[in-house]
A = this chain, B = another copy of it.
Amino acid sequence: MQQRGRQTFVFEKPPAILSWASVVGKKEGEGPLADAFDIILEDDQAGQSTWEKAESTMQMMTIERALQKADLQPDDLNLISGGDLLNQCIGTSFAMREQRIPFLGLYGACSTMAEGLIVSGMAISGGAVDKAAAITSSHFASAERQYRFPLVYGGQRTPTAQWTATASGCVLLSSSGTGPFLQAATIGTITDWGITDANNMGAAMAPAAYETIRLHLEQMNLTPEDYDLIVTGDLGHLGRSVVQDLFARDGVHLGNRYDDCGTMLFDREKQDVHAGASGCGCSAAVLCAHLLPQMKANKLRRLLFCGTGALLSPLTTQQGESVPCICHAVSITTEGAGSWNI
């Protein structure tokens, strides 16, 4: 790998994306991407006795499907990196207990898929491993009771609130393959512009997205036009417009080249999700169900996938703290090493 500025680097040996899979809940399976998911649960409890076990089960289904699509066994993987939103990342740890794949646990909130691609990508590109995966998940019911209220309480949601997606995504990477490829990455710093409303994650995370995208373009010496799509996940409708505004102040108009995974998963008019979708599983499932298939079909050739995470906990909100946020950007292209002169 080769450094480009303080926090950006290029994968000189670009890890190839071998396969991907997504598993989502019933509501997500009724949205605009319905036809794109690998598995839509009939019952969000996935046959389990608790929501947390359901979330782990979704991850197990996702990795199994991704392995199947690449014609691989769990033993073929040298590494899986991932995490989730639950306390002590139990959604992932308990799923990985069954799989016995060498595991590096991550906590990046909704930036986890991007973070996992970076960690597993670095391991492959540097030669430490040959095949590695990145995985994450979120579950509406397990997240609601942990972060907000028990579902039976029937709490009213604010207009800026996002809906935690019941979704899991997994990407398999390899040292060789036909692509798409991980081309470069920018590791974010924590950004906190003082938002204290835990029901307005879009506004809290938007500055982190803005800073990382700006830095990525600067350190790579690129303009937004060099990408077919710059996608954040998951800022929702409000956060997306904040990112657009912040760039517009710099005289940069992102236009149709920019979108957010949190605005793609649900139908805003019909599905009553207020500011859009969120949760680690949202950007992961949108990547695996919607974006990577478009790349494989050559409809999308250069993607900047920017995972955004709000690193708060209910306790920090109770203690009056603002929300520290992060964004990691991963450049994914259909071209291999050196073919795109970056």
Binding site for B on A (CB under 8 A): 1-3, 6-7, 9, 12, 49-50, 52-53, 75, 78-79, 83, 85-90, 93-94, 96-97, 100-109, 115, 118-119, 122-123, 125-130, 185, 187-190, 192, 309, 311-316, 319, 321, 324, 326, 328
Contact = CB atoms under 8 A, between A and B. Distances in A.
A128 B1 contact: yes
Nearest to A111: B105
B319 A103 contact: no
A129 B321 contact: no
Contacts of A103: 187-190, 326
A275 to B, nearest CB: 21
Given A103-B187, A123-B122, A324-B93, A130 B3 contact: yes
B115 A122 contact: no
Nearest to A212: B102
Contacts of A93: 190, 311, 324
A197 to B, nearest CB: 17
Given A189-B103, A311-B88, A127 B2 contact: yes
Contact of A106 (B87, B106, B309): B106
Nearest to A313: B88
A23 to B, nearest CB: 20
A104 B97 contact: no
A328 B81 CA distance: 13
A130 B4 CA distance: 11
B102 A189 contact: yes
A195 to B, nearest CB: 13
29 contacts: A1-B127, A3-B78, A3-B128, A3-B129, A7-B78, A50-B319, A78-B187, A83-B107, A87-B88, A87-B313, A88-B107, A88-B316, A89-B311, A94-B324, A96-B190, A100-B190, A102-B187, A102-B189, A103-B188, A103-B190, A103-B326, A104-B108, A105-B107, A105-B108, A106-B106, A122-B122, A125-B128, A126-B126, A126-B128
Instruction: For the complex of A and B, list the 3 residue pairs with the smallest distance between their C-beta atoms, beginning with the closest.
Output: A126-B126, A88-B313, A93-B311
Contacts of A326: 103, 105
Contact of A189 (B94, B100, B319): B100
Contact of A105 (B53, B311, B314): B311
Given A1-B128, A93-B324, A315 B100 contact: no
Interface centre among A9, A88, A115 (most CB of B within 10 A): A88
Given A103-B187, A105-B115, 18 more contacts: A3-B127, A6-B102, A7-B102, A9-B127, A78-B187, A85-B88, A86-B315, A87-B87, A89-B107, A89-B311, A96-B324, A97-B192, A102-B187, A103-B188, A104-B106, A104-B115, A104-B119, A105-B106
Contacts of A118: 104
Nearest to A84: B107
A107 B136 CA distance: 13
Nearest to A130: B3
Contacts of A49: 319
